[in-house]
Amino acid sequence: MENIIKIITADITQLDVECIVNAANNSLLGGGGVDGAIHRAAGPELLVECRTLNGCKTGEAKITKGYNLKANYVIHTVGPVYTGAENDVKMLRLCYWNSLELAMKNSIHSIAFPAISTGAYGYPLKEATEIALSTVVDWIETNLDYKMKIIFVCFSDETTKVYNETWILFQNIKKT
Ligand code: ADP
């Protein structure tokens, strides 16, 4: 298996990868948090292309070019606003899954994810991290013949710590 998962602390807009994922909102017309940062770094042409996409449903993903970013592509996905309902899990899982499917469809082999829904959308970080990691591991195991480098980009050391602890937990579960 040539797939690699990495966890780093960084600003996702600065990464030199083929594709970065945006935690967007349903309008795809920009917002705060990571969405605002990506639009600022990519430049106004990103918004022009986003206007042609007619929004995006929660859990779905759409692709654009990266414009002034180092990344060639941005995959925009819309995470759930946390409510505590079972559907939140399903929707967050779909964000990661559909982003990876769309990346593969576009022959992308490196992709960076922010911690979708854990900012303004209020998803508890630990729960969201477990969903992010388990979904990506499931996807890799379903697509063993496709080489995909996956980077989890944490915006704070505290987030990175939660990702690393959750990752260790996974490794232990796999060993037993
Ligand atoms: P959502 O609305 O999906 O919750 P936010 O943008 O509010 O999206 O937050 C999602 C995550 O992205 C949060 O963990 C936040 O700290 C992180 N984040 C914000 N800016 C950046 C950035 N430039 N690079 C990487 N992660 C970021």
pLDDT in tens, 134-163: 999 999 999 999 999 999 999 999 999 999
| pLDDT of residue 83 exceeding 70 | yes
Q: CA dihedral in degrees (170, 77, 9, 4; nearest 10)?
A: 50
Q: Whole-structure pTM over 0.75, yes or no? A: yes
End-to-end CA distance of the chain: 20
| pLDDT of residue 175 exceeding 70 | no
Tally of CA atoms within 13 A in the half-sphere of 51 that contains its CB: 5
Q: Check if the beta carbon of residue 152 is closer than 8 Å to that of residue 5.
A: yes
Distance CA 39, CA 136 (A): 25
pLDDT in tens, 118-139: 999 999 999 999 999 999 999 9
Task: Tell me the helices (H) and strands (E) count for the chain, helix number first.
Answer: 5, 6
Q: How far is the CA of 13 from the centre of ligand 1 (A)?
A: 11
pLDDT of 11: 98
Q: How far is the CA of 82 from the centre of ligand 1 (A)?
A: 14
pLDDT of 117: 98
Ligand 1: list residues with CB < 6 Å.
Answer: 11-13, 23, 33-35, 37, 79, 114-121, 153, 155, 159
Distance CA 157, CA 10 (A): 9
In this structure, the number of other CB atoms found within 10 A of the CB of residue 126 comes to: 13
Amino acid occupying residue 97: W
* Tokens 């591991």, residue located: 137
pLDDT band at 44 (very low <50, low <70, confident <90, very high): very high
Mutational test site, ligand 1, from 15, 155, 160, max ligand atoms within 8 Å of CB: 155
pLDDT of 134: 96
CA-proximal residue: ligand 1, atom 1 (nearest): 117
pLDDT of 169: 86
Give the residue with greater pLDDT, 4 vs 55: 55
Mutational test site, ligand 1, from 13, 34, 129, max ligand atoms within 8 Å of CB: 34
